[in-house]
Amino acid sequence: MTKLGLYLAQKSVNKAEVARKTGLTKARMNELTLNERSHLRAEELCLIALAIGVKPSELLDEFYGTINLPDSGSKLKKSD
């Protein structure tokens, strides 16, 4: 199960209802919630957030809040 799938299950959200509200197919919702190799597009994330009554930024933080830049050993330069 994907992070989206776990989130929706934890919140007891009906995937068929989300699909209906967003215009996504039930097959696409299943792919996004069950297939780890699926890629959630920004537009889909926003539509799903609106359908379940949360801000898209909440989903971004929930799913991707732990992502960091790889440590390359050098600091990023501040551009002038």
| Unique residue bearing structure tokens 């995937």 | 15
List pLDDT tens digits, range 13-68: 999 999 999 999 999 999 999 999 999 999 999 999 999 999 999 999 999 999 88
Q: What is the pTM of this model?
A: 0.83
CATH number of residue 30's parent domain: 1.10.260.40
Is residue 63 a contact partner of residue 19, using CB atoms and an 8 Å limit? no
- Domain span at 37: 3-64
Residue 26 domain-assigned (yes or no):
yes
Residue 72 domain-assigned (yes or no):
no
Other CB atoms closer than 10 Å to residue 36's CB: what's the count?
8
Any residues with CB less than 8 A from the CB of 34 and at least 6 apart, and which? 1, 2, 5
Residue 78 domain-assigned (yes or no):
no
Total domains in the chain come to: 1
